[in-house]
Amino acid sequence: MDDKTIDELHALRAQAYDAARPEAVARVHENGRLTARERIEGVLDAGTFVESGVLAGGAEEPAGGYVTGIGTLFGKPIAIGSYDYSVHGGTQTGINHAKIDRTIELAHRYRWPFVCFADGGGARAQGLAGRSWGSGMSTAMGTFDGMAYLSGWVPTVAVVSGRSFAGNASIAGFSDVVFATRGSAIGMGGPPLVEAALGLRMTPEELAPSEMHERTGGIDLLIEDDAEGVALVRKYLAYFLVEKTEGTPSREHDTIRAIVPDNRRRPYDMRKIVAALADADSVFELRPNWATAAITALARMGGHAVAIIANQPKSNIAGAIDANAADKLARFIQLADAYDIPIVSLMDNPGFMLGPDAERAGIARHHARPLLAQVDRTVPLFLVHIRKAYGLGPMAMGSMFQPTDLRLAWPTVEAGGMALEGAAALIQRKEIREAGGQAAAREKRDELADQMRERSLWQNAGRNYTFDEVIDPAETRDRIIAMLRFIPKPPPRTKRKHYIDTW
């Protein structure tokens, strides 16, 4: 082949790279963002990116507006792509749909994690006229059914910076986790469609701000910029790609005995117990500002990746499980189970939420979701019973359903079919009523509840072999790490267990 042809090839390819587009790159940087290739190269191990479809779209639409390919992260292959907002606002065309479809297909075939920087304006009508020969590579699956096939089969991550609507937002919605920058927007129908359908004029940021999604559970973390998004993609995927067998205890571990107050009515911050049990600097909490009665976090213990679910006594509902917390727990249990990550359950739960607000939110149906997820679970679960466990709530945390692989209790443990004050009020109603006024009745109820509590103290739980062991809180970390080392890892699977629901 003559040199002229080779030179022409290299010249055409060069037109798609950042060096050939200084003005476009400058505009991206002026907005505090990274270019599509900078994002990808920031995630991957240096020099490992193998790009697909560089010539797609030609000089007018470099790389077809979607940069994609394969590279390694921590030495393991991953599939990755980024819409290019400098090319027609990151909108989707037949060409760039074919490119993402190709990457998704390879990720599914070889079980590679998939990462997508999903900002963009959805379908460009004039760009989706068809995918005949010459307008895209033939693939076995499309973008959206492809994302459905990836769910629960490979870890998927979406990062949204700026505006993400319609098809771009759908890619984020299918993903296991979504990181979105402050001031960005994610919605299924952009402002023009909303105005046409409803007559409402709104900016994208008014219509579907990421800050709203943080409050309603639509994203996992609200971040500051692309650079933080890149760092979090690496941190998140490390739990799936990096195997360790050693880990250093955190500084908080020495304080673990002092975290739970002697007064059982006083709240405490469960995050302190999570930090005390996990390896130093290893906790990665998801959805921290939604359904705050429940905590869901990836972490490491003795180097091993674990998924932590916990009740939060410091929340405004004292760790009770409301409809949102039920959904949050269920989805995280599914995520851990799909990818064979053992679960550590830290339980201090007064039960499912009661009252008219809870009923209006659908607790009668939503409460079943974590219970169903626990029944489907096949990964090991290590349960630490810290304080309260009342009603059906403990079942959401893994108690009394699928067998636990380790069942520990602290000396602060208490349990019952319902809160003991409520049980006393029902069982000994007559005696309480005869106590006198309201204050005297409350005092009598609490006295009877304390008598019931005495009968269920940790000493009796230990004698009755209710737990593998009632332990000093300082022993908890070592007991869990020992089980993580003893229990063998499952063999590689040839099909997925289940998809991960979008609750």
Distance CA 145, CA 161 (A): 24
* pLDDT for the residue numbered 455: 57
Q: List Cβ neighbours of 45 (8 Å cut-off, separation of 6 or more).
A: 71, 72, 73, 74, 75
Q: Is the pLDDT of residue 309 over 50?
A: yes
Structural contact between residues 206 and 187, judged by C-beta atoms closer than 8 angstroms: no
**pTM of this structure:** 0.91
Please, what is the average pLDDT of the chain? 89
Q: Is the pLDDT of residue 166 over 70?
A: yes
Task: Please tell me whether residue 283 adopts helix, strand or coil conformation.
Answer: coil
Q: Is the pLDDT of residue 259 over 90?
A: yes
Q: Is the pLDDT of residue 108 over 90?
A: yes
* pLDDT for the residue numbered 120: 94
Structural contact between residues 220 and 210, judged by C-beta atoms closer than 8 angstroms: no
Q: Which CATH superfamily hosts domain 3-240? A: 2-enoyl-CoA Hydratase; Chain A, domain 1 (3.90.226.10)
Q: Is the pLDDT of residue 135 over 80?
A: no
Nearest to 69 by CA among 17, 116, 16: 116
* pLDDT tens digit sequence for 399-416: 876 689 999 999 998 876
Distance CA 332, CA 334 (A): 5
* pLDDT for the residue numbered 442: 64
Phi/psi for 203 (5° steps) reads: -75, 160
* pLDDT band, residue 1 (cuts 50/70/90): confident
Q: List Cβ neighbours of 8 (8 Å cut-off, separation of 6 or more).
A: none
Distance CA 273, CA 18 (A): 47
Structural contact between residues 309 and 346, judged by C-beta atoms closer than 8 angstroms: yes
Report residue 470 as tokens: 């009632």
Distance CA 353, CA 480 (A): 30
Domain ranges of the chain: 3-240, 244-416+456-486, 419-455
Mean pLDDT of 429-445: 57
Which DSSP string do the residues of 383-424 spell out, in sequence order? EEEEEEEBTTHHHHTTTTSSPPSEEEE-TT---BSS-HHHHH
Task: Please tell me whether residue 200 adopts helix, strand or coil conformation.
Answer: coil
| Lowest-confidence pick of 60-74, 445-459, 477-491 | 445-459
Diameter over CA atoms, the chain: 104
Calculate the alpha carbon distances from 421 to 394, 428, 453, 460 in Å: 18, 10, 10, 20
Structural contact between residues 113 and 157, judged by C-beta atoms closer than 8 angstroms: yes
The reply to whether 3-240 and 244-416+456-486 are identical in fold is yes
b/e burial code for range 231-255 (CB count within 10 A of at least 16 → b): ebbbebbbbbbeeeeebebbebbee
Q: List Cβ neighbours of 169 (8 Å cut-off, separation of 6 or more).
A: 118, 122, 160, 186, 187, 188
| Lowest-confidence pick of 52-61, 116-125, 458-467, 484-493 | 458-467
Mean pLDDT of 440-458: 58
Report residue 109 as tokens: 């075939």
Q: Which CATH superfamily hosts domain 244-416+456-486? A: 2-enoyl-CoA Hydratase; Chain A, domain 1 (3.90.226.10)
Distance CA 22, CA 194 (A): 35
Q: Is the pLDDT of residue 126 over 80?
A: no
Mean pLDDT of 215-232: 97
